Amino acid sequence: MKALLLFALLAALLAGWLWLRAGRNEARAEAAFPPQGRFVEIDGRRLHLRISGRGPPVVLIHGASGNLRDMSFRLAPMLERRFTVIAPDRPGLGHSPAFAPGGESLREQVALMAAALERLGHARAYLLGQSYGGAVALQWALQRPEQVAGLVLVAAPSNPWEGGLAPLYRLNANPLLGPPLRLLIAAAAPRAVVMDSLAGIFAPQPVSPGYAEHVGLPLSLRRAQQKANALQVAGLKPQIAAMVPRYGGIPVPVVAIHGTADRVVQHDIHSRRLAGQIADLELIELEGEGHMPHQTRTEVVVAALERLHQKVESTHG
């Protein structure tokens, strides 16, 4: 009995220490990487977004585990010379609070961001989505086509794939195992492990110099963001499967940019298939590139959006 009580006491002390350490780490992360933009409130839900530049509006939609800083590193500064760049933190990530206990669906994310776009006074915009953000952009084109001038999809999942969730996502989304795992990660995730994970996302290219310092990796380790991200990713596959039969009805031109060496979202399963599902789609395959061409080949992404804009203008001009 004494041994059991001692074990319970030690477990409680460890849990308390982890809780305090996690809270301290989260506070430090938010102080070190504060909001870069402004907040828009829609029906009690707050969306954080960064606005810069002048010209036709383009919405930059970041991927899983990230925040708008991914877009403000290289892409937004290059685009804001010709476009009004709107980069939101997707719900539950960055500085935008989560609002759906089971994870924000693609439809719910689009509804919030579409309402924010209207609040900002823009009737239509180009959408540029990377990775998970590309799936959001596709849903936006299906859900609110009147708001979309054209799509640029970068390493975007668009079709069902074999297999299930990666182990970390599966555990993190579990209602029983998720809370203690998220606490442990928030309190004691080694920086070397975080950097290895980032390197795997960029592979086979190296992580862009300065990216890790800019993007605010500690924000992704916060418990609330871990939960929101895991739940969103866990629900992605069936939502994509439901979108596939509707792709032929997308009424705007699309550019899909994908690296042939992408280990996160395979180009042959997604962008190549999508090229046969959307009539007006330009497929740009980057030989040997990984999952982050908006960082490693930013000039290609910028040029693709500029060509798309010229095409839309010539069609409607």
Please give the structure tokens belonging to residue 210. 């300065």
pLDDT of residue 18: 81
Q: What is the mean pLDDT of residues 22-36?
A: 96
Q: Give the pLDDT score at 36.
A: 92
**Residues 307-313: what's their mean pLDDT?**
96
| Residue 1 confidence (pLDDT) | 66
Which one, of 62, 32, 64, lies nearest residue 219 by Cα?
Answer: 32
Per-residue model confidence as pLDDT tens digits over 52-90: 999 999 999 999 999 999 999 999 999 999 999 999 999
pLDDT in tens, 125-179: 999 999 999 999 999 999 999 999 999 999 999 999 998 878 888 888 999 999 9
Average pLDDT over residues 201-214: 97
Q: Is 287 exposed, middle or buried (0-12, 13-18, 19+ CB in 10 A)?
A: exposed
- Mean pLDDT, residues 281-297: 98
Dist CA 16 CA 11 (whole Å): 9
Which residue ranges make up each domain of the chain?
39-316
User: For the chain, where are the E strands, in sequence order?
Assistant: 38-42, 45-52, 57-61, 84-88, 125-130, 148-154, 254-259, 281-286
pLDDT tens by residue, 97-113: 999 999 999 999 999 99
More confident residue, 4 or 297: 297
Q: What whole-number percentage of the chain has pLDDT above 70?
A: 95
32: left (phi over 0), alpha (psi -120 to 50) or beta: alpha
Q: Which residues of 40-66 are buried (b: 16+ CB within 10 A; e: fewer)?
A: beeeebbbbbbbbbeebbbbbbbbbbb
DSSP characters over 10-46: HHHHHHHHHHHHHHHHHHHHHHHS--SSEEEEETTEE
Residue 156 CA to residue 133 CA, distance in Å, equals: 7
CA angle, corner 210, sides to 204 and 215, nearest 5? 90
- Of 11-15, 111-115, 306-310, which range is least confident? 11-15
Query: Which comes out higher in pLDDT, residue 52 or 3?
Result: 52
Q: How far apart are the first and last CA of the chain?
A: 82
- Identify the pLDDT of residue 6: 61
Examine the pLDDT at 2 and tell me if it is beyond 70: no
Six-digit token string for 182 = 């998220």
Does the global pTM surpass 0.85? yes
Q: Dihedral angle at the C-alpha atoms of 42, 43, 47, 49, nearest 10 degrees? A: 10
Residue 164 has a pLDDT of: 81
What was the pLDDT predicted at 317?
58
- The per-residue pLDDT for 178 is 94
Q: What is the DSSP string of 50-74?
A: EEE--SSEEEEE--TT--THHHHTT
Whether residue 229 is predicted with pLDDT greater than 70 in this model: the reply is: yes
**What is the average pLDDT score of the chain?**
94
Q: What is the pLDDT of residues 237-250, one digit of tens each?
A: 999 999 999 999 99
Q: Helix-strand-coil percent breakdown of the chain, rounded to 5? A: 50, 15, 35
| The pLDDT of residue 13 | 67
- What is the predicted pLDDT for the residue at 183? 94
**Alpha-carbon radius of gyration of the chain:** 20
Class in CATH terms, 39-316: alpha beta
pLDDT for 249: 95
Rounded to the nearest 10°, the torsion over CA 273, 56, 115, 66 is: 60
Characterize 264-278 residue by residue with b for buried, 16 or more Cβ atoms within 10 angstroms of its Cβ, and e for exposed: bbbbebbbbebbebb
Helices (H) and strands (E) in the chain, counts: 15, 8
At 43, the amino acid letter reads D
